[in-house]
Chains A and B, each alone.
Chain A
């Protein structure tokens, strides 16, 4: 099943809010402004007293194929005490550890490098660990990534994503490995390294693929992450011209770069700020320059 086809049911309130102040929360923008004003007024010793007692209202998608009551997707409400600097990941971890140990999601590094915790938060793909609660409107709605099969709660099946990543031959192909006693690195200009820098930052979180309408409609489309991976190799001067052409052939196939309609949704959601759409466009231009077949 996919989250996109399901109508979320009326949430069943789990831990009803006792505190009336929690209702009718102001928009995050207003809240931030307010916090800032108070901060200026009180100069020091603002932080803790200011946020103490506040609670975050989470609405979290739940689904488990083998547990009665969770086979039909539903949303559970959690009310989590707010702490300064709290992220969406912190909040769902708190909900899991304090309220419901069956609440399931992937997470590991907590610092936006392992790429495990891309969720659909308030209608947008984001990394849970990198998204501040204070910047979100409440209730904070946390769902699994759209357009991927849901395994359980916030966990989606990543196999298709990995298949696409592997489809672009994502490994360096210069066979010229060094002799044991030959300690010479290949040369690469700082400019060329800079050229591939952004593309090399991908953490395989899958946010871009999930946001892409084309990928949603064409299951064979390589998708932004895989194309970006190929870009990293194709633009690296250390691989020869022949291999570059081989890479472009993979990319210009029917479900490759030409499928992209430059909607920029991938670029917008990328947590590592990789200019994905630009990279795809550049590869299209390279393919044209090489007179490769135009689909």
Chain B
């Protein structure tokens, strides 16, 4: 068994930042990650980091833009924390050597981004995430923080107190991918989940194949609630054949969207008369699909993004990476022809329910980054707001897990006296009761709250070893790849940009079938050495759980807000829906409930307004 004060699961931007912060707070910190840190998907982020750095800009404008962009479903304390801390954290990155793009006077450049009232997106070419990830990994190396890379975390170790809010997390169980060795990792202070997004629940996604929602699913099974899972961002400019992302930076620099008739449809068809291409992402994604749906798409599938008029010099200076992506993955030369683009799953606004200190409703369990929902992004994330979230809230989670006092959080988590139960929607299936076995991630055989951590860890390790043996000893059945493909298709067909109640119900039934098939899943590869078949079989289980929460959230929220559009109710209904959707597993008895959104900031209240661009 390994033992540390703080265990960080995942080594992307949030995980690395959390680890550095916990280490600096004096905790013995280790990172456990299924990928080597530099392979993390933060590296694929292109656009930039929003931070109110310049004179004339200020954090309050950033907070205002973010609340508006969220369609008033973000919690003001989270948003204000993000806007206040982003400048300092961005400058910190610069002092760690991050190669930001520069102005003539040597200061860091900032550019306009969708939904922003000021050009406050700090960037490093069109590969900001790559530089952020590598810069932060360099600092981890500098500090000698222990990294267990290519260790796959299989489950969390928590006690089995009846009320999830009374549970504590004592560590994780992981296996060394290279050797197959299953081990316990005891966390004396806390576990920080920083496992990234669940994009692989969809089949056209900008996300890496590693983005399988592992943290979401493990936390959910352990009793943490998941928040606002229905809010999935579809990025308006992904390449049609692969889903590779073309940065919003292209539109930020002046790139223009055209339909098949050569119309600049964002203006000419009235989708966003003021901002045009730089309207919020959900607005642009719906506009594109509407164009295609009404017969004005190119090859009935996509639209064109044209940046030729920017000129070769400016493109090479600020968007060179985009030329390579378009060339390598779509065979298009962005200097001489427009690039084909269509919406692709890109980001999950929802995630593990945490407060502004990164804490979940389970003691000692934290989450930060895309896997978490503070909530900063609400119904729709603005471009350039994900990277500051990683560093601001990664740092806070790391510090708090290490034992620092960050003051009391205003945001509440878990099922409590401030929530309202879901009672109206008829669910087509009983959620979440199948799976490889019906037991949850909770150590049900433990001795209650007072159970000793070492014993809990040992039993959890034994359980995962038995699970691996069972998967590998089984000689036939269904393989995970079939189940995953079926799941992804259903999500893309029915829980996409445009959603209907009937479609979502269909998706839920398919997800149920996937669960049933998963009971017959087996791992064909007989080797303990680097068994990716085994790893992906675990990941597929997580995807099923996470997909179900996305679909359930989408079904119960019968309104149109941010990225979530419902055919039956195509308007935002503030009278009823200024509230977060929460789903809790609760030992196999899932419940859905709501918590009011917090619109009261420290000095002002963000009154919901019509969101027009």
Give the residues in chain A near B486, CB-CB below 8 Å: none
Tally of contact residues, A, Cβ under 8 A: 62
Interface residues of A (CB under 8 A from B): 64-67, 70, 84-85, 96-98, 100-102, 104-116, 130, 151-153, 155, 158, 162, 166, 170-172, 174, 176-178, 180, 183-190, 193, 196-197, 200-201, 203-204, 232-233, 236, 238-239
Some 17 contacts from A to B, beta carbons below 8 A apart, are A98-B481, A105-B532, A109-B41, A110-B209, A110-B244, A111-B325, A114-B44, A151-B178, A152-B530, A172-B97, A178-B91, A185-B95, A187-B106, A188-B102, A189-B102, A189-B106, A236-B99
Q: CA of A106 to CA of B95 in the docked complex: distance in angstroms?
A: 33
Q: CA of A101 to CA of B471 in the docked complex: distance in angstroms?
A: 14
- Name A272's closest neighbour in chain B (CB-CB): B324
Q: CA of A38 to CA of B208 in the docked complex: distance in angstroms?
A: 35
- Contacting residue for A236 out of B97, B481, B523, CB 8 A: B97
Give the residues in chain B near A203, CB-CB below 8 Å: 38, 43, 130
Q: Are A193 and B527 in contact (CB under 8 A)?
A: no
Q: CA of A166 to CA of B106 in the docked complex: distance in angstroms?
A: 29
* Contacts A109-B43, A158-B36, A172-B97; A66 near B528 (Cβ below 8 A): yes
Interface residues of B (CB under 8 A from A): 35-36, 38-41, 43-44, 53, 87-88, 91-92, 94-97, 99-108, 125, 127, 130-131, 134-135, 138-139, 141-142, 178, 208-210, 241-245, 324-325, 328-331, 479-481, 485, 523-533
Given contacts A107-B209, A108-B210, A151-B529, 14 further A-B contacts (CB under 8 A): A85-B330, A102-B525, A102-B527, A110-B242, A111-B325, A115-B39, A171-B142, A180-B88, A184-B91, A190-B106, A197-B125, A200-B134, A203-B130, A232-B99
Q: Are B102 and A162 in contact (CB under 8 A)?
A: no
- Name B526's closest neighbour in chain A (CB-CB): A67
Q: Are A170 and B141 in contact (CB under 8 A)?
A: yes
Q: CA of A170 to CA of B141 in the docked complex: distance in angstroms?
A: 8
Q: Are A102 and B41 in contact (CB under 8 A)?
A: no
Give the residues in chain B near A200, CB-CB below 8 Å: 99, 131, 134
Q: Are B141 and A166 in contact (CB under 8 A)?
A: yes
Q: Are A111 and B44 in contact (CB under 8 A)?
A: yes
Q: CA of A193 to CA of B40 in the docked complex: distance in angstroms?
A: 24
Give the residues in chain A near B530, CB-CB below 8 Å: 104, 151-153, 155
Give the residues in chain A near B35, CB-CB below 8 Å: 108, 114, 116
Q: Are B97 and A233 in contact (CB under 8 A)?
A: yes
- Name A162's closest neighbour in chain B (CB-CB): B36
* Contacts A85-B331, A151-B178, A190-B103; A110 near B527 (Cβ below 8 A): no
Q: CA of A170 to CA of B44 in the docked complex: distance in angstroms?
A: 21
* Contacts A176-B95, A185-B107; A113 near B130 (Cβ below 8 A): yes
Q: CA of A180 to CA of B84 in the docked complex: distance in angstroms?
A: 12
Q: Are B87 and A183 in contact (CB under 8 A)?
A: yes
Interchain nearest-CB distance for B286 vs A (Å): 25
